[in-house]
Amino acid sequence: MSSSSSSRDAKAFLVQGEEASYRLLVESVREYAIFMLDANGYIVTWNSGAERIKGYQAEEIIGRHFSSFYPPDAVESGWPDYELQVASTQGRFEDEGWRVRKDGSRFWANVTISALRDERGRLRGFAKLTRDLSERKRVEMLAADGARREQMLEAERTARIEAQRAARMKDEFLATLSHELRTPLNAILGWTQMLRSPQATEGGVDVRHGLEVIERNARAQIKLVDDLLDLSRIMAGRVRLDVQRVALIDVVQGAIESAQPAAQAKGVRLEQVLDPGSGFVAGDPARLQQVIWNLLSNAIKFTPRGGRVQVLLERVNSHLEISVSDTGIGIPASFLPHVFDRFSQKDSTASRGYGGLGLGLAICKQLVELHGGSIHAESGGEGRGATFTVKLTHAVARDFDFSGRVHPTHPTHPTAAENVRLPALDGIRVLVVDDEPDARELIQRILQNHGATASCVASAEEALRFLAASPPDVLISDIGMPGMDGYQLMRKIRADEPRDRRLPAVALTAFARSEDRKRAILAGYQTHLAKPFDTAELVLVVAGLMNRT
Ligand SMILES: Nc1ncnc2c1ncn2[C@@H]1O[C@H](COP(=O)(O)OP(=O)(O)OP(=O)(O)O)[C@@H](O)[C@H]1O
Ligand SMILES: [Mg+2]
């Protein structure tokens, strides 16, 4: 037996009578590294096989953590801990992979870890058995030539990391699921027992409150089950969209209303900047509302008290964009690519404080894509909030010509303005502000052709004088102008007018970056039109602001 089994640690670890037989068995084996770990993964015994295979003497390795035998990438991905976790929950774990010797060289190992429990079922530690399969591996590798060998190694590494991630995710998911299902069950069972207790019959228990708790928790559980079923239905392609002409603003407002109580309860401010002329999409209103609601509930969930959640709805040329941004905990760059994966949550089961199954965003993504749209996430990193943006194709009247239904898998993309029956702008008075004479004239003509009366001015200062003298129904203003620019103009207008009678206003800019759009909306414009725009877009935007669509 190697010197280790005589060490005090090992003595304490092994139950008296077992030690002798263990000694014999272990000593006779030189082909295997056999050693034991305490419950936290620190090495407590070491045999001669271990010495031979791994190159450490007992004195140098006992007391160290067993992750020393793993390559850095495996340690980084948390694989050693994962092995112990599986061994302790399932009794045993077997794996094949690269391990590292004392001299830094790698060998291909077959590893078995068994949990050791005492007679009362308490975890004492782990027995670990490692076989060196390098020879077999070498023969395999020799059969392959150089480049292919590299490829094999690389493929093996990638496959392993991916498999590790998937295995961990599945495990974490099951743990999360049982936790999430049990939490409401606890409350339900606890209160049921309370209501059946003698005190309850004597009126000493608040029955009404108890029933409320039970109902709330039962509903929470229904939501979990619904989400699970929903996801499997969506994944199997069995979801049916009830596609209609949907005013997106209604959907967004519906979602905001249902998220409001949660925001209030948590002390998170919920702000909205919704373009009333944003228009329509072809979609299933209930499903779209579900998407926005999911984004809102995440934003509220991951934003601490005192924070802010902002919903922005705007029309950007042929798209409608909804973005939900928050000032919350943010998403680290390394996790960002995985947020839409099923069952993925940044917090693993042990440290999670937020609840949920990690399904919400996976469902959102599927639903948005079924609508022919896209969704993406941005974050400045941990502690810096997150923004989720959904883009959907704007639908014009023509899309609904046949019985008001569109097949979602064949979205029609409106390209030209022809064929579209545009709403009339009769009687609408528009003030156009642009320092460019050609641009002014073009807008004026388009508007007049559709029945509106359009007046033009060449600067923000002139616009303010005009507004004071004869206020129009709609203002269309360029942003970049010499002197006072379009942002300043709008802030001045908003500051001076009564809150309940806001002048509908459209910002026109040559830059369609999303910051520019946000700036325009934040300055007080209801909507934004990027140059070049087409006739139909301009007419639809004005009609939308005046509720003429
Ligand atoms: N607004 C956000 N801020 C920070 N992290 C977020 C935000 N939204 C999502 N995440 C991260 O993405 C993960 C996945 O989100 P998802 O909505 O899919 O799951 P969940 O909210 O954890 O659970 P479920 O939606 O199933 O109740 C979250 O667990 C969280 O780590
Ligand atoms: Mg969620």
Look at residue 258 in the predicted model and tell me its pLDDT. 87
What mean pLDDT do residues 264-287 have?
91
Q: Is the pLDDT assigned to residue 9 strictly greater than 60?
A: no
Which atom of ligand 1 is found nearest the CA of 330?
A: 4
Q: Which ligand has an atom closest to residue 386 CA?
A: 1
Q: Is the pLDDT assigned to residue 226 strictly greater than 60?
A: yes
Q: Is 61 in the pocket of ligand 1 (CB under 6 A)?
A: no
Out of 45-49, 161-165, 417-421, give the one with best mean pLDDT: 45-49
Q: Is the pLDDT assigned to residue 358 strictly greater than 90?
A: no
Q: With pLDDT > 90 as the criterion, what percentage of the chain qualifies? A: 38
Q: Is the pLDDT assigned to residue 48 strictly greater than 70?
A: yes
User: Mean pLDDT lowest for which of 61-70, 251-260, 302-311, 438-447?
Assistant: 438-447
Look at residue 239 in the predicted model and tell me its pLDDT. 75
Q: Is 519 in the pocket of ligand 1 (CB under 6 A)?
A: no
Q: Is 309 in the pocket of ligand 1 (CB under 6 A)?
A: no
Q: Is 345 in the pocket of ligand 1 (CB under 6 A)?
A: yes
Segment holding 465, helix H or strand E: helix 460-469
Look at residue 190 in the predicted model and tell me its pLDDT. 83
Q: Is 361 in the pocket of ligand 1 (CB under 6 A)?
A: yes
Atom 8 in ligand 1: which residue has the minimum CA distance? 298
The answer to whether 384 touches 325, Cβ cutoff 8 Å, is no
Segment holding 314, helix H or strand E: strand 308-316
Reported as a pLDDT band with limits 50, 70 and 90, residue 348 is: low
Cα of 346 vs centre of ligand 1, distance in Å, is: 8
Look at residue 149 in the predicted model and tell me its pLDDT. 75
Reported as a pLDDT band with limits 50, 70 and 90, residue 127 is: very high
Residues 6+ apart with CB under 8 A from 427: 451, 452, 453
Q: Which residue has the tokens 């450490």?
A: 56
Cα of 215 vs centre of ligand 1, distance in Å, is: 25
Q: Which fold has domain 429-545?
A: Rossmann fold (3.40.50)
Look at residue 98 in the predicted model and tell me its pLDDT. 86
Look at residue 398 in the predicted model and tell me its pLDDT. 54
Q: Is 302 in the pocket of ligand 1 (CB under 6 A)?
A: yes
Residues with CB under 5 A from ligand 2 (ion): 298, 356, 360
What mean pLDDT do residues 499-512 have?
82
Cα of 361 vs centre of ligand 1, distance in Å, is: 7
65-96 tens-digit pLDDT: 999 999 888 887 778 888 888 888 888 888 88
Q: What are the structural domain ranges in the chain?
A: 3-143, 177-235, 244-397, 429-545
CATH of 3-143, one of 3.40.50.10310, 3.30.70.920, 3.30.450.20, 1.10.287.70: 3.30.450.20
Cα of 298 vs centre of ligand 1, distance in Å, is: 6
Beta strands in 366-463 (DSSP E): 374-379, 386-393, 429-433, 453-457
Q: Please check whether the domain covering 244-397 is classified as CATH 2.115.10.20.
A: no
Mean pLDDT of all residues belonging to the chain: 83
Reported as a pLDDT band with limits 50, 70 and 90, residue 347 is: low
Q: Is the pLDDT assigned to residue 412 strictly greater than 50?
A: no
Distance CA 309, CA 297 (A): 10
Q: Is the pLDDT assigned to residue 237 strictly greater than 70?
A: no
Q: Is 344 in the pocket of ligand 1 (CB under 6 A)?
A: yes
- Of the CA atoms within 13 Å of residue 344, those in its CB half-sphere come to 15
Ligand 1: residue of 301, 345, 347, 363 to mutate (most ligand atoms within 8 A of CB) is: 345
Which of 152, 141, 169, 147 minimizes the C-alpha distance to 342?
Answer: 169
Which atom of ligand 1 is found nearest the CA of 359?
A: 26
Cα of 302 vs centre of ligand 2, distance in Å, is: 9
Per the structure block, which two tokens stand in for 50? 């271990």
Reported as a pLDDT band with limits 50, 70 and 90, residue 322 is: very high
User: Mean pLDDT lowest for which of 72-86, 210-224, 344-358?
Assistant: 344-358
Q: With pLDDT > 70 as the criterion, what percentage of the chain qualifies? A: 88
Q: Which residue has the tokens 């909507």?
A: 527
- In whole angstroms, what separates CA 157 from the centre of its chain? 27
Look at residue 64 in the predicted model and tell me its pLDDT. 95
Q: Is 277 in the pocket of ligand 1 (CB under 6 A)?
A: no
Instruction: Please provide residue 387's backbone torsions phi and psi, each rounded to the nearest 5 degrees.
Output: -130, 130
pLDDT, greater one: 150 or 251 = 251
Concatenated DSSP letters for 154-219? HHHHHHHHHHHHHHHHHHHHHHHHHHHHHHHHHHHHHHHHHHHSHHHHTT-S-HHHHHHHHHHHHH
Reported as a pLDDT band with limits 50, 70 and 90, residue 8 is: low
Q: Is 386 in the pocket of ligand 1 (CB under 6 A)?
A: yes
Distance CA 8, CA 12 (A): 6
Look at residue 192 in the predicted model and tell me its pLDDT. 86
Q: Is the pLDDT assigned to residue 206 strictly greater than 70?
A: yes
What mean pLDDT do residues 238-249 have?
85
